[in-house]
Amino acid sequence: MKRCHQELERTKRVHRQHLRQTHNWPIAIVDCVCEFQVGRFRKQKAFGCHRAQCLLCHFDKIFGVASVKDRIRDQRYRDSLDDYFGSNTER
Ligand SMILES: [Zn+2]
Ligand SMILES: [Zn+2]
């Protein structure tokens, strides 16, 4: 997934910040599941509940509802097909 790599630096920064603030990291030994799990600190939805299977937060992904971006992309595809075949029949 592209977004993961785009946000990797930010995610690592938040992870280090958590280790320092919560576990006193460079001084003390970290004894927490989060130590090597950087992915826990990825950007979250502002009002999300952090559960991947939550129907309230992720109903569109779970039920396969097309997002606005998906709809725009589909419409562009149909328009381009219309343009292509429309221009061929005029000749
Ligand atoms: Zn932790
Ligand atoms: Zn939720």
Q: Which of 70, 7, 72 is nearest to 42 (CA)?
A: 7
pLDDT of residue 39: 87
Domain boundaries, the chain: 1-43, 48-91
pLDDT of residue 1: 57
pLDDT of residue 27: 87
CB 40 within 8 A of CB 14: no
Average pLDDT per run of 10 along the chain, which is 91 residues long? 83 92 86 87 84 86 89 95 77 52
Q: What is the DSSP string of 2-33?
A: HHHHHTHHHHHHHHHHHHHHHH-TTTSPP-SG
pLDDT of residue 73: 95
Distance 44 CA to ligand 2 centre (A): 11
Distance 54 CA to ligand 2 centre (A): 4
Distance 61 CA to ligand 2 centre (A): 12
pLDDT of residue 88: 62
pLDDT of residue 15: 92
Residue indicated by tokens 């603030």: 21
Nearby residues for ligand 2 (ion, Cβ within 5 Å)? 49, 54, 56-57
pLDDT of residue 49: 87
pLDDT of residue 69: 92
* Ligand that lies nearest to the alpha carbon of residue 37, given by its number in the listed order: 1
Question: What pTM did the predictor assign?
Answer: 0.57
